[in-house]
Chain A
Amino acid sequence: MLRAVFFFELRYQLTRRSTLAFAALLFGYAALMVARASGLVGAPFDLLGDGGRAALNSPAVLHLLVTLPSAFGILLVAAVAVSAACRDVRHGSCALYYTKPVSERAYLGGRLAGALIVLAVVFTMPVLGLLAVTSLPGFPPDRLQPSQLGAFLMPYVAVVWPNLLALGTLVFCVAAARRREGPAYALSLALLGAWVVARAFGSDLAKVKLAILVDPFGYLATEAVMDRLSVAARHAAPVPLAGALLRNRAIWLSLAALGLLWLLARFRFTEATPSGRRRQQLQLPPASADERTRAAGVACGGRPPEETRGRRRPAIALLACARFELVRLLSQRAIQGGLAGLLVVGAVLSRTLGVYEGTPSHPVTFLVLGDLANSLLPLALLVILFAAGELVWRERDLSLEELCDASPARTVTRASAKLLALVGLILVVLSAVAVVGVAAQLSRGHLDLQLPLYASELLGFRLPTFVLLGVLAMTAHVLVNYKPLGHVAVAACYLLLSNRKLLDSSGGLAAYASDAGYVYSDFTGYEPFGWPFLVYKLYWFAAALLLGLLGVRLWPRGRETSLRARWRFGRREHAAHTARALAGLSAIAFVCLGTFIYQSTAVRNRSAADRVRDEIEYERRYRKHADLAQPRVSAVWLRVALQPRERRADIEAEYELENAGDRPIEALHLSVPDASSLRRASCSRFGRELLADSRLGYFVFTLAPRLAPGERIRARFDLALADRGFRFPQTAPAVLSNGTFLMSDQWAPEIGYQPARELRDPLLRRQYGLLPSEPLPPPDDPRALERGVHRDADRVGFEAVVSTDAPEQTVLAPGRLQRVWSEGARRFYAYRAEQPIFNHYAIVSARYATRREDWRGIALEVRHHPRHGQNAERVLRALRQSVAWHVARLGPCSYPGLRVVEIPRHAPFRGRSYPGLIPLVETGGFLAQMDGRAGEIDVLSSLVAHEVAHQWWGHAVAGAAARGGPFVQETLAQYSRLQLVATLDGEAAAARLLEYARLEYFRGRREAGEPEPPLVAVAAQPYVYYDKGMLVMHALAHRLGRERLESALASYFAKVAARRPPYGTSLDLVSEMRRVAATDEQSALTDLLERVTTYDVRLVLASSDPHGARYRVSARVALSKKQADAAGVEVATKPSDWVEVAVLGAGGEPLCRERLFLDRSQSELVVEVDRPPQRVVVDPDGLLLDPVVDDNEAKLGGS
């Protein structure tokens, strides 16, 4: 019997239109992704972030394509499982089934099995899509590799099938047991919620393990497994079903098994429905028929109550209907469940809001709103899109459609009432989000709620988008006119709309409901994002009006179902003139606004695609000049006039240029980053203008007479930086009404061709026929010593006079402030660097509050937003300690003062270091809420420590423009940071910092597409030079001892600082370290610095016995060691390493520490301790680069 039910179910589900549509969607998604990644359609894009190196049928790509739809696919899982479980009840035919001699087990089992198999079939579509595209004739053969069966199967075995089995079964159980759709859909929403929560917890060290188990789709668990694999291993073999992934799967499958047992125990073929109240409603139709009719009357906008009869008052009818619809909506269990789910997820998340590296922020409104927008709003949107379908289908779901359709209410009234009800629901949902936010703030004792900010964010920025999407969803349901298919169509629309590529390629003009993006900052509010946002939304509201008119015209009123019949039927319904006029007006508005947006984003400003073309063109035309001898900048004088209110700056820059070569120079080549800003370039020696490419910003002037070797001239450039309307995506201009941050690399003319302006994306380079980017030279290249990252200058003299017409603002620039004065309404600041600086500077201007102190003649200063002063004292302390630390070890500070300034969060980094000037963004820790727990990292102080270190490692001494350069600059700054965190916050905080670095390093390895270089040859791999760098320096500090390590750093510093120019390579640094290391420590240096080495160290066995008055502890330790070659292939290597083993007492205090030399895979250690031992830990200081540390310790339970 089970077989019969099963096969019937299979046939039934496989021929459902929604199933087929979903299958088509999955097929299309995979086919499109692969077609685009291969460049078959449009510009190729980087699927894995590896520069397109992996074959498109490699295990990594297959894994991505197959598992990516899991979360979104829960909608299909729910649709199929719910239909299998309770469609008989919904159709009212359950009595026909329940009175047949079938056992409950066979009925449920057959239905469930059928549904699961259908789901499994549908989810094979991504693979079919991939196969279809890769077998097309024009598919590039170099993007394929020989097929592996395992690569196709494993993503299913490890991820997709368990997901379908576990989640499908759970949803089925709830639907079958409750015999209703609502709770089952609520469960699927809850599963998405669990994923959102898990993702939020995944970045918190303390909760990551729990998060991995909770994530129902296994995404986090997969990542945890992939952390252990090298790039090469990930590309060569599928993700194995092991470790965290296996545990996660086991948990969810056992949950599903429990669910099934529960269902079998309670499900009976009776008509008993769970709630008595509900049952009576169903049982007594005569009693409630009257009410139903009345309800239907109101619902369909029938005659309002007696007193208004006679006069038509459509507005009242509309509002009454809308109110009725909203109340019905809110009384639906699924919607209530969704809202409750939002509150629960919000409450759980509220503890992680604004947490960075385990340190919470003050729950300031904009941070809370930002976090909620990422986590809660997607769930909220799901509730709203679901409700849109319910609204369109409500009458038909209750079999009331004929009553309502025959009423005199106009379709436009009914449809508008439903839309209004949806807007009402959106308001309710947004209020729920606000409640979550406010509750989170209050529960953490934050009373400055900034309610207007809630209102402007939620009502001003979120509401319009939600309403637009709601209109789209309702229209889609009307057009499709089949509920499950309508939901699929809505999901498909949403997926399409959230596709970044579509958004970017059209400048937002083709992605319905999109906008140019916006960022809130406490400095500037929503400036300058509000106006473009409004224009975009108006443009889309015009489109929504058209959609809405179409929806009303095609509204399924009466029994007609085909589109054509509904179109004809609709004509008789509506006041044709009004509709036509409205449609015409909105079409005109749509076209006009669209033209305006296009003008602003693509004509007055360069669009993203234009910028790519410019980069290509720049390289094609001018690359030939790359090696031309050019003068170098030796001094810079600036006169900058800021007009913050107009978001404008006028700059006069004067360069002193010197011919540092040995041949005369005939022409000066000039690259200007923002070509349209250059007004004039002048010099007494300029002859003819040979070339003026004002689109690409490349100019050539002859020099008459030629510039002789050693000769110096001055050239002057006048620039105007103005805010030219809005862009897509909208970015903040450098000059803002408050919080100007003007970096030289955004505007300053550079001498000669600049390779830094070339197109980077390797896939695009290949597509446009450009050769691969030239790699950085190796560290042993002799030219490396002469070149820093700035091609046209080493150190320059620097003077700047900056004026502003906002006298309440303070202007800051590198160098010492010479003079401040006023002329009329303008205030002037003159800065001069007392010794040359690298040609890289910034100007900051904002209304600040200030704190200062003097440390041995160095003026320390912190300038912050007046509301962000909570941690100013800590910044000063960090400044003082960092400066003291570096002065003691490396030598005096080069600058008379060090200023930390807060800047708006629009900047693309958290902190930077200019000579004597350290800008940090407002979200970089100024708002951190420290409560003095042990192990808490003061993120702001640690950031300050890193940036202060750059005053030595970066300004006094710089990394050469060669591989390994970032090791000299960033890794050494990370070492300073680690040492200062230990000093300021204690060893426990330092240990936590290392733990985060370990997490980030292995995450970076996972996400990197290219093989990992060793530290000594690191180039653009932040996870290596920041995170691994910190771990390696920590290990070296333990191996060599801090004193020896720091003496090596000091001698390296002294050696490089004496050089002109002062560029250091990684090889010099390594040789300094080797100099201080003993013979038996040399191999550790090789492993850590020159090779890519990872370890897996485990405590296999640990036991303790009383031994007289003492305790004997024995521990067996296993160690495996892997080294990766240049292609990223990891090879097991014979270990010969020292591993530390610690025995800890009851209070966690060390009883004994032993070093164990391991030259084989396992080794045993026996020690005796005086007090009762509690735990044994291997590698307690984390000196080995081990992706998994939870197997490094064990509790001792007696013998």
Chain B
Amino acid sequence: MGLAVASLSKTYPGGVRALEGVSLSLGPGLFGLLGPNGAGKTTLMRVVATLLEPDSGTVELDGIDALRRRTEIRRLLGYLPQEFGLDPRLRCEELLDHLAVLKGLDDRRSRRAEVGQALERTHLADARGRRLGTFSGGMKQRFGIAQALLGRPRLLVVDEPTAGLDPEERRHLLDVLAELGSDVVVILSTHIVEDVAEMCSTLAILHRGRIRLSGEPRTLMHALAGRLWEAAGEEPASLPPKATVLGRRRQAGLSRVRVLSDESPGEGFCPASPDLEDVYLAALRSSAA
């Protein structure tokens, strides 16, 4: 049971190839989709959220064909788009209630309870009567989560939810996601590695429309153990043939360069312990090569 995506491809009119044969299989729990800007994350999310027709491939949730039986999927779906606007004239609770009706919550009492719960969970209860035009960026994002939680979705698709949020708002949001029941499939797309590191039991790295790497964070980090080196200062002039510079890190004003290599890249380098960012960068570098 869970979400199964198989050989999805999508090319936009104009020739941009956003997805090329993407396959994923996810069970309940938080799944992180990492990738740089323009990798195809949003396209993948939109396809899964029934908003975009792929050129080929299939998407199934619990055995339901998500591309054909859209209405059924939409009953099980909660979606938070990367960018969205809200009619500034409407009040928070008014719109949430309407969206709940659309979600299929016909019974007024249970709908009210559900809306109240969603507001509570996203800490918007105090702002329920305010017009959406007066919301801050973080509140708007939380409203997005609140509407996505309506109707107890089985599949939650959240696209770059933490972009542009302050640390506290970001914390808030990730907490809400973490508190979701264990039987919900949550896809979290982001280009922020820490989000995934903190939250997700599994992840995939998408780059230029292809899945470059997937698995559990711990396993992936483990795979780099012993191959990661670090040295102070600038990039060395010469490197062994199979070595790749992953990048530099600054810590307290000091710059340190990290290199992936089977052997020591040279003088001054000492072994370093890998983290998820290394995994991410290594995947990008290898796919670029």
Contact = CB atoms under 8 A, between A and B. Distances in A.
Interface string B100-128: 01111000000000000000000000000
A286 B71 CA distance: 33
Contacts of A309: none
Contact of B83 (A1, A92, A286): A92
Interface in B38-53: 38, 46, 49-53
Contact of A8 (B52, B71, B98, B144): B98
B234 interface: no
Nearest to B88: A91
B38 A271 contact: no
Contacts of A592: none
Contact of A93 (B13, B51, B84, B102): B84
A276 B12 contact: yes
A16 B90 CA distance: 11
Contacts, number: 89
Contacts of B46: 271
A43 B143 CA distance: 59
A279 interface: yes
B14 A100 contact: no
A101 B72 contact: yes
A595 interface: no
B212 interface: no
A206 interface: no
Of the listed residues A87, A90, A100, A103, the one surrounded by the most CB atoms of chain B closer than 10 A to its CB is A100
A100 B50 CA distance: 10
Interface in A1-60: 1, 4-5, 8, 12, 16
A284 B82 CA distance: 13
Nearest to B98: A8
A1034 to B, nearest CB: 66
Interface in A383-412: none
A512 to B, nearest CB: 31
A90 B90 CA distance: 15
B53 to A, nearest CB: 6
A96 B81 contact: yes
A99 B53 contact: no
A135 interface: no
Contacts of B98: 4, 8
A102 B77 CA distance: 12
B16 interface: yes
A271 B102 contact: no
A270 interface: yes
A283 B43 CA distance: 10
B190 interface: no
Contacts of A271: 46, 51-52
A686 interface: no
B38 A95 contact: no
Given A4-B101, A4-B102, A92-B85, A99 B12 contact: no
Given A96-B99, A96-B147, A97-B102, A103 B71 contact: yes
B102 to A, nearest CB: 4
A780 B158 CA distance: 95
B14 A272 contact: no
Contacts of B103: 100-101
Interface in B133-152: 144, 147
B170 interface: no
Interface string A99-116: 111110000000000000
Interface string A244-272: 00000000000000000000000001111
Interface in A283-300: 283-284, 286
Contact of B38 (A97, A103, A276, A284): A284
Interface in B61-92: 70-72, 74-75, 77, 79, 81, 83-90
B152 to A, nearest CB: 13
Interface string A71-92: 0000000000000000100111
A91 B85 contact: yes
A98 interface: yes
Given A276-B14, A279-B13, A102 B87 contact: no
A280 B51 contact: no
A82 to B, nearest CB: 14
A277 interface: yes
Contacts of B104: 1, 100-101
Interface in A663-703: none
B255 interface: no
Of the listed residues A90, A95, A99, the one surrounded by the most CB atoms of chain B closer than 10 A to its CB is A99
B74 A101 contact: yes
A945 B145 CA distance: 85
Contacts of A93: 84-87
Contact of A96 (B53, B75, B84): B84
A272 B101 CA distance: 25
Nearest to A277: B14
A100 B77 CA distance: 8
A386 to B, nearest CB: 22
B287 interface: no
Contacts of B56: none
A943 B128 CA distance: 77
B53 A100 contact: no
A247 B199 CA distance: 67
Interface in B144-193: 144, 147
A98 B50 CA distance: 8
B29 to A, nearest CB: 21
A99 B84 contact: no
A894 to B, nearest CB: 80
A283 B14 CA distance: 12
Given A99-B49, A99-B74, A271-B52, A91 B86 contact: yes
A99 B156 CA distance: 11
Contacts of B81: 95-96
Contacts of A272: 52-53
Given A271-B46, A279-B12, A100 B99 contact: yes
B149 to A, nearest CB: 13
A91 B51 contact: no
A92 B12 CA distance: 20
27 contacts: A1-B101, A1-B102, A4-B98, A4-B101, A4-B102, A16-B89, A87-B87, A92-B86, A93-B87, A95-B79, A96-B84, A97-B102, A98-B50, A98-B51, A100-B102, A101-B102, A101-B104, A102-B71, A103-B71, A269-B50, A270-B50, A270-B51, A271-B52, A272-B52, A279-B12, A283-B12, A283-B16
Closest 8 CB pairs of A and B: A92-B85, A276-B13, A101-B74, A100-B102, A95-B81, A101-B75, A4-B101, A99-B79
Given A92-B85, A92-B86, 6 more contacts: A4-B102, A91-B88, A98-B50, A99-B79, A269-B70, A271-B52
Interface of B: 12-14, 16, 37-38, 46, 49-53, 70-72, 74-75, 77, 79, 81, 83-90, 98-99, 101-104, 144, 147
